[in-house]
């Protein structure tokens, strides 16, 4: 059985590109992606950007949005 310190030492000695891949895989194992959901969100984001670019949707400045929120909350 490999000890944790040995594993860390071996991982640190790897070339940078391999360490980067290792870190990415470890992070993915902690937060697995939900590919279908990610793809749906990406498509939605692209649709929204196109709606803004085409003028189909009018944007509202953030300051105005926060002002309305404060008014609703009585702040």
pLDDT digits (tens, 9 = 90+) for 46-71: 999 999 999 999 999 999 999 999 99
Q: Are residues 39 and 75 in the same domain?
A: yes
Percent of the chain scoring above 90 in pLDDT: 77
pLDDT at 22: 96
What predicted TM-score, i.e. pTM, was given to this entire model? Answer: 0.47
Residue 25 belongs to domain spanning: 1-32
Sequence-distant (≥ 6) Cβ neighbours of residue 48 within 8 angstroms: 57
Q: Are residues 22 and 49 in the same domain?
A: no
Q: Are residues 27 and 40 in the same domain?
A: no
pLDDT at 16: 94
| Mean pLDDT, rounded, for 19-33 | 87
Whether residue 32 is predicted with pLDDT greater than 90 in this model: the reply is no
Distances (CA, A) of 40 to 46, 52, 63: 10, 19, 29
Q: Are residues 73 and 38 in the same domain?
A: yes
pLDDT at 6: 92
């Amino acid at each position: 059985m490999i000890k944790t310190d040995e594993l860390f030492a071996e991982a640190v000695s790897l070339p940078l590109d391999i360490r980067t891949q290792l870190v990415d895989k470890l992070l993915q194992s902690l937060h697995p992606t939900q590919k279908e959901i990610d793809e749906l969100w990406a498509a939605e984001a692209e649709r929204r950007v196109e709606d803004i670019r085409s003028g189909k949707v009018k944007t509202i400045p953030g300051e105005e949005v926060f002002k309305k929120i404060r008014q609703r909350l009585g702040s």
